[in-house]
Amino acid sequence: MPAELKDFFLDLQKREIIADHANLENFFQLKPNEKVIYWGVDCTNDSLHIGSLFTILQLVRFAQKGFKMLLILGVATSKIGDPSDKDKERPLLEVNQIDGFQEKIKEQLNSLLIKPKKDSPLFLNFSPLEKFYSNVFTNGELLKNVNKVLEIPDEGNNKEKWEKYLQYIWPLKDSSKFQILNNQDWLEKINFIDFLRKTGKNLTVAYLSAKETIKKRIDTGISYLEFSYPLIQAYDFYYLYENYNCHGQLGGSDQWGNLTTGLKLIHNYHPQNKCFALTFNLLTDKEGKKISKSSAGKTIWLSPEKTSFPEFYDFLRNLPDEKALKFLSQFTFLTEEQVKKIDQLNNPRKLRIPQRILIELLFYLLYGERGMEWLKKESAK
C-alpha cells in the first residue's frame, strides 16, 4: 500500500496538482478501511465554476485508488462566510438563498459524480474528434495519428471508439465511492457552549491569528463571525473523523489554514490519529489571477445558464497551448506520455489539438447529450 500511494502522490505532483501537504507519511500508511477523505464546498452561489471542476476531477483520481470521497455541502458554514482569500467581509446571505444554492450545487455534484454516465445516440453518427479533424489531411491522416496516441482502434464501430475515448474523462465503473453530506446536519445540533468547549478550548487566539488568512485581515478588520470560521471547519473534520472514519481533507491552496486547524483539533482529542491534509494548486492565468475568472474578470461557471455553450467553448478553444497541455494533464486521465505525444502532433499550432480534446471531453462530462448536440453543430461550421 505505501508504494502504491507514493506513486499516486508523485503522479499528482508531476501533473502540478499538489500545492502543499501535512502529515504526508500518514497518507502513505493508510489501511484500506482508513481511505476516507472529504472535500467541502460552501453554498454561496447557485453554480460551481471551472476551479471547482478542477478539484472534482482530482476527487475522481482518489476514488480510482479506492478512497471513499465525502462531498460536504457547507450550508452551515455558508451562513458564516470564509475569510480565506478575501480582502473584506462577504455580505451575509439570506438563509433561504443558501438553501436554494445548496440544491443547485447538490444537483451539479450528483450529475458530475454520482449519476450513471449514458452514451449519447449522437456518438453512433461520428467518432471522437471526427467533426474537427477528419478532413484536415488527406484520408484523415491526422485523425488516425491522434487516435493512435489515444489508443482508439481504427476498426470497430463509433460506439466502441467513444467508450475508449470517454475513459479519459470518466474512468470509474461506478459512483459508489462518492457520498454527499450537509454540515448543517451536525453543526446545528450542537449547542453553543458545547461547541466552544470542544473547539475554543483547544484552538487559541494566538494560533488562529497566526494563520495567513486571518493575519492579513487583522489590520483591515475581521469580525468575530469570520474569525470563528476556521473553528467550524475544524469541527467538520473532527466530526467526520469520529463518525465516518475520515482521515483526510482536500482543498484549494487558499484553504491551507483551515485544513491544518482541523488537523490540530483532531490531534488534541486523538494524539495517535493518522490524519492528513492535501491542498491543490489554484488555477491561474499567465498574470497569476485565478483561472476560474477570464481576463475580463468573468467567472467561468459550470451552469450553461450562467456561462453559455459558446462562452465555455471559446474559453477552452482560446487557451494558450502551454495552458491547454497542462489542462490535458490535470483535467483528463491521459498519461503524461500521451500528453507529450499530443503536443508533438499539434504542428502547426493552429490545429489546436489539446484544446479540441478538452472541448469534447468536458462538454460530454458537463452537458451530456445536449452539449454534444450543440458541439456537433458548432464543429460542422
What does the DSSP assignment read for 183-219? Answer: THHHHTTS-HHHHIIIIITTS-HHHHHTSHHHHHHHT
Whether 126 and 107 share a structural domain:
no
pLDDT, average across residues 81-92? 73
Q: How many structural domains comprise the chain?
A: 2
Which amino acid is present at 156?
A: G
Whether 94 and 238 share a structural domain:
yes
Residue 158 lies in a domain: yes
Segments in 245-352 forming alpha helices (H) = 256-269, 309-317, 321-331, 336-345
Query: Which of 290, 228, 287 minimizes the C-alpha distance to 254?
Result: 290
Say yes or no to pLDDT of 377 above 90. Answer: no
Whether 44 and 104 share a structural domain:
yes
Whether 198 and 149 share a structural domain:
no
Residue 155 lies in a domain: yes
Residue 292 lies in a domain: no
Whether 260 and 136 share a structural domain:
no
C-alpha cell of residue 379: 464543429
Query: Which of 327, 323, 212 minimizes the C-alpha distance to 260?
Result: 212
The lowest-confidence range among 25-34, 136-145, 153-162 is: 136-145
Say yes or no to pLDDT of 124 above 70. Answer: yes
Segments in 18-138 forming alpha helices (H) = 24-28, 50-64, 75-78, 95-109, 130-133
Q: How far is CA 220 from CA 46, 91, 205, 254, in A?
A: 29, 16, 18, 19
> So what's the pLDDT on residue 88?
67
Whether 32 and 76 share a structural domain:
yes
Domain containing 322 equals 121-169+308-379
Whether 126 and 259 share a structural domain:
no
Whether 24 and 72 share a structural domain:
yes
Q: Give the residue, 214 or 23, on which the prediction is more confident.
A: 23
Q: Give the residue, 258 or 119, on which the prediction is more confident.
A: 258
* Reported confidence tier of residue 295, pLDDT bands at 50, 70, 90: very low
Residue 290 lies in a domain: no
> So what's the pLDDT on residue 293?
46
The lowest-confidence range among 166-175, 200-209, 226-235, 299-308 is: 200-209
The lowest-confidence range among 55-69, 213-227, 320-334 is: 213-227
Say yes or no to pLDDT of 299 above 70. Answer: yes
Residue 78 lies in a domain: yes
Say yes or no to pLDDT of 198 above 80. Answer: yes
Say yes or no to pLDDT of 135 above 80. Answer: no
Residue 302 lies in a domain: no
Q: Which of these three, 280, 299, 330, is where a domain ends?
A: 280
Bridge-partner residues for 379, per DSSP?
A: none
Whether 100 and 188 share a structural domain:
yes
Residues 6 or more apart whose Cβ sits within 8 Å of residue 313: 359, 363, 375, 378
Q: Residue holding cell 455553450?
A: 309
The rounded percent of the chain whose pLDDT value lies above 90 is 68
Half-sphere exposure of 250 (CA within 13 A, CB side): 28
Say yes or no to pLDDT of 155 above 70. Answer: yes
> So what's the pLDDT on residue 134?
66
Beta strands at 36-42 and 68-74: parallel, antiparallel or unpaired: parallel
Whether 143 and 220 share a structural domain:
no
> So what's the pLDDT on residue 243?
98
The SS3 of residue 242 is helix
Residue 303 lies in a domain: no
> So what's the pLDDT on residue 59?
97
Query: Which of 261, 251, 187 minimizes the C-alpha distance to 230?
Result: 261
Whether 88 and 223 share a structural domain:
yes
Residue 12 lies in a domain: yes
> So what's the pLDDT on residue 148?
95
pLDDT, average across residues 276-284? 93
Whether 351 and 369 share a structural domain:
yes
Say yes or no to pLDDT of 56 above 90. Answer: yes
Say yes or no to pLDDT of 107 above 80. Answer: yes
pLDDT, average across residues 19-36? 97
> So what's the pLDDT on residue 140?
75
C-alpha cell of residue 369: 447529450
| Burial category of 304 from C-beta neighbours within 10 Å (exposed 0-12, middle 13-18, buried 19 and up) | middle
**Residue 102's domain is classified under what CATH number?**
3.40.50.620
The DSSP result for 120-132, as a single string, is: -GGGGGS-TTHHH
